[in-house]
Chains A and B, each alone.
Chain A
Amino acid sequence: MLQFLLHGLTVLLLPPLLPGLIAKTKARMAGRQGPPVLQLYYDLAKLARKRAVYSRTTTWVFLAGPVGGVAAGLAASALVPFGHTPAPISFEGDVILFAYLFGLARFLTILSALDTGSSFEGMGAAREATFSALAEPALFLGFAALAKANASLSLGTMLAFPGSLTTRFTGPLILILAGWVIVYLAENSRIPVDDPNTHLELTMIHEVMVLDHSGRPFALVLYGASLKLLVLGALILTPALPRAAHAWQNWLAFYAALAGLAVGVGLVESSMARFRMTKVPQFLVAGVLATGFAFLLMLV
């Protein structure tokens, strides 16, 4: 019970910390002081008090994106184990629900972007739809490989099974995680797929889709994005974490790994530039190939 409470509190309170960590890492790497780590919390508090502006072309669909993004993200968060602490809800086939909840969030975000009638937002929406179609097979090939390894269809057992990196599944596991890191960067609109800090709308993917959101809806958008960082992060961290004897050790390991992941993303962002748009599909196909090879290795 206490575990579930902690799970819920983590989901509700922790996410805004992750973008802060990434930004701090990037700033430090660039030799700047950077915004405080808690910046996103301040932003959310400010946005919650601000008035929202609605374009006259928009309908209720405009709000479905932010609402759906957060609702689906929260629902998905209940399915994923945080490290070796089991997920609150776990059943056979929850993998599919997990993936499709993110599909739902994406669908509604795309629609709310198109609702503004702006060409820029349409462009971002088209890119999101295109690139995520390539990320989906990588995600599912990874699931298939893990399911093959331990004959389980439930996210909890599937992810927590490898435990340590000493089994004969080490090779495939590394490939799966490599493929999923690519998916992680793409789904969270990070360099090298998308640059969240760019000032040029023509080159954005995710940021350009929410240009017209403001006030509380925008707070939901920002929170939803950070929630995605956490939930998908748990997906790729859990198989890599060693299993500890005590629950508190597992939690500690998970939080440490999460911070490490955020710093890692910051390091990637500091060390390379965004790919040209035409290169992005190739990058995503690399993810598909990595997970595909992992699956093949599982067959051997």
Chain B
Amino acid sequence: MSLYLLALLAAAVSGVPGLFLRRRGGEVATGLLGLAALLGLTASFRVLAGGSGGTLALRTAALGAPGLLVFDPLAAFFAIPVLVLAFCGSLYGLGYWESRRGNTPALRLVFGWLTASLVMLVAASHALTFLLAWEGMAIAAFLLVMAEDREAETRRAGWIYLVATHTGTLILIAAFALLARTTGQYGFTALPAGLAASRGGTILFVLFLLGFGFKAGILPLHFWLPPAHAAAPSHVSALMSGVLLKMGILGIARLLSWVPDPPLWWGGTLVALGVLSGLLGVAFALGQHDLKRLLAYHSIENIGIILLGLGLGTLGKSQGNPVLQTLGYAGALLHVVNHSLFKGLLFLSAGSVLHATGTRDLERLGGLGQRMPWTAAAFLAGSWAICGLPPLNGFVSEWLIYVGAFRGLGLGRQAWPVVILLSLALIGALALACFAKAFGAVFLGLPRTEAGARAQEAPRVMLLPMGLLALACLAIGVAPLFLMPALGRVVDTLGPAGGSGLPSLPGLGAISGMALALGLLALLLWRWLRPGSREDGLPTWDCGYATPDARMQYTASSFADGLVRGLRWALWPVVHRPKVSGWFPRPARYEGHVPDPVLDRAAAPGLRFGVRGAALLRVAQGGALPVYLLYVLLTLLVLLVWMVA
């Protein structure tokens, strides 16, 4: 516990020295975050290894049972991506942000606060600490999103985020109050059996799902997410997408851990939401031109995959099937960490692209692979992992969910296993198309602009964190077996199940073996290709045309056009198609984009309407002191009458 608290402290104050130092403030902050990561990871590994009690608590007598902060295996597990990404993000920020912006010290301070709130949140075991950390995280993230508040787009994104996150928090406050009414205390304890199936349990589930859903970006509560991720500085986007969203998942996982007997429809709802978020998330990603928005929609997709796993586990729990419960929860929780690693990696490399070229527009990028080979390799590793392709880590977590769903097929006439299977397969195929498009448009072919042609590789301090994350992705993908004892302990916190059986899954060793064989084969083939004499420096054979140029390349929009058109019933793309007529048609412009249906068609108009309604209330707020005194008097009178009556 003391290690954990020290980590919390180090993260919280990491930005403070920078306020007083004239130089090297960034290095000090990064050093402190590195220290926090070292301490926190040590604490995490100790708890996950099952040593020294496994659970550590900070108690105060007044607040009752579980204490304020409990560092149990679930907390330790979620703390890992928080600390890793915070350190990597801070290191990356040294090269990405330090040199050119004025508000750097403030940004560093808030970055530390965000990390500290997240570290506190994972272990919170009391409604008070949980909501405190939750709100701290929300506000810190808002301030970070607003880092470039000179741009109207950023201000809008920040504003939408603030509204969404506070709506979620309000719902959560109601949910915790209701929870306290049923259990009699604000500390987190197991709910009595039978409660979940009652009407009170239903209301609790819906409220928590809404509150946490806003944070996790579950469709249709995701609308704040793409603009906020696009507008935030890239290392902040990495932390937001990698960890902040996962706090919604942590909340849902905590809820599931309290409930001994979730009704069947809980799991069914989670699966349905997972299908919706997963499929529509990747479908909307396909339609994006903005690199960071595209990545943000993929976060929604991955939240969908995590929900599929959670739903599978919950269905297993309801039916008393420990195998499904273990496989589902293990897949979901491992995917939480995996997604943090590869999405962090992707956002950091997208940030390098933005840093080097000044644009996030896929149609204005291209050919960066030759000029920024390391960034390209990092982005490729991230894409590889996020598509769930072996031998990287995304495959392992999806594999666990797949195996669980296949096992579920044996349970008689139930529709959900095949729904999970099909969604995962389709999500995988669409994600592959989308990342082929993104990587191809940004890094392959010829540069489409002057800025792209002059792009320079990112400095080492930015490449280092990307390399660390890529290595972590590879390590989990090649040797998943080593993780399983720890993962089993985490899974067992969500309800007694066979978490200890995870390491004996026969496939895990075989996956490692296949990964090694794949690597070896690739190496051999590669060596066979290399020494062959070669002819360099010729143009691409464009079917006989000798001078192909960048404007003739296939664009990202063209690449995705077939799929976007096939999915237009869901995406509602907006297309401005010029009419070409006559023998000598005039120059024309084609334009197409996929707006977010929830934000642009429902939430934004709704908010505008709400603001107009709120304007009516302004009559009551004239600003004159006598009027306010009158209000106080009237309130007193009303209360008096009410008390007497």
User: Which A residues contact B (CB, under 8 angstroms)?
Assistant: 51-61, 63, 66-68, 70-72, 74-75, 78, 89, 91-97, 99-101, 103-104, 106-107, 110-111, 114-123, 125-127, 129-130, 132-133, 136-137, 139-141, 143-144, 147-148, 151, 153, 201, 211-212, 215-217, 220, 281, 295, 299
Chain B residues within an 8 Å CB radius of A63 = 526, 529
B291 CB to nearest chain A CB (Å): 16
Query: Which candidate, B57-65, B106-114, B551-559, B587-595, is the interface stretch facing chain A?
Result: B551-559
Chain B residues within an 8 Å CB radius of A122 = 440, 445, 553-554, 558-559
B81 at the interface (CB under 8 A from A): no
B446 at the interface (CB under 8 A from A): yes
Q: When A and B form their complex, which 10 residue pairs have the shortest distance between CB atoms, in order from nearest?
A: A122-B554, A117-B445, A114-B440, A129-B433, A133-B429, A71-B521, A136-B429, A130-B562, A140-B425, A55-B540
Q: 20 additional contacts, CB 8 Å, given A67-B526, A115-B440? A: A52-B533, A53-B535, A56-B536, A57-B540, A67-B525, A71-B525, A72-B518, A91-B507, A100-B389, A107-B387, A107-B389, A107-B435, A111-B439, A117-B540, A120-B543, A126-B561, A133-B563, A136-B429, A148-B409, A212-B540
A–B Cβ pairs within 8 angstroms, 26 of them: A52-B532, A52-B534, A53-B534, A55-B538, A57-B446, A57-B540, A59-B369, A63-B526, A68-B522, A71-B525, A74-B521, A89-B513, A96-B398, A97-B395, A97-B511, A100-B388, A104-B384, A114-B436, A115-B445, A119-B548, A125-B436, A126-B559, A132-B429, A147-B406, A147-B409, A215-B532
Q: How far is the CA of A49 from the CA of B640 in the complex (A)?
A: 100
**CB closest chain-A residue, reference B401:** A96
Q: Are B505 and A139 within 8 A (Cβ)? A: no
Partner of B399, one of A96, A136, A299: A96
B460 at the interface (CB under 8 A from A): no
Q: Are A211 and B543 within 8 A (Cβ)? A: yes
Chain A residues within an 8 Å CB radius of B528 = 216
B450 at the interface (CB under 8 A from A): no
**CB closest chain-B residue, reference A75:** B518
Query: Interface centre among A114, A127, A141, A281, by most B CB within 10 Å?
Result: A114
Q: How far is the CA of A120 from the CA of B543 in the complex (A)?
A: 8
Given contacts A55-B540, A93-B402, contact A66 B529 (CB under 8 A): yes
Q: Are A115 and B444 within 8 A (Cβ)? A: yes
Q: How far is the CA of A94 from the CA of B514 in the complex (A)?
A: 10
Given contacts A61-B444, A71-B525, A136-B428, contact A118 B533 (CB under 8 A): no
Partner of B562, one of A107, A111, A127, A147: A127
Chain A residues within an 8 Å CB radius of B444 = 59, 61, 111, 114-115, 117
Q: How far is the CA of A74 from the CA of B540 in the complex (A)?
A: 30
Q: How far is the CA of A75 from the CA of B553 in the complex (A)?
A: 34
Instruction: Render B203-237 as a binary contact track against A, CB cut-off 8 A, 1 for contact.
Output: 00000000000000000000000000000000000
Q: Are B534 and A137 within 8 A (Cβ)? A: no
B151 at the interface (CB under 8 A from A): no
Chain B residues within an 8 Å CB radius of A78 = 514, 517
Q: Are B533 and A51 within 8 A (Cβ)? A: yes
**CB closest chain-A residue, reference B531:** A216
B381 CB to nearest chain A CB (Å): 12
Query: Interface centre among A97, A117, A136, by most B CB within 10 Å?
Result: A117
Q: How far is the CA of A130 from the CA of B395 in the complex (A)?
A: 21
Q: Are A91 and B510 within 8 A (Cβ)? A: yes
B309 CB to nearest chain A CB (Å): 14
Q: Are B387 and A103 within 8 A (Cβ)? A: yes
Partner of B428, one of A71, A95, A100: A100
Chain B residues within an 8 Å CB radius of A100 = 388-390, 395, 428
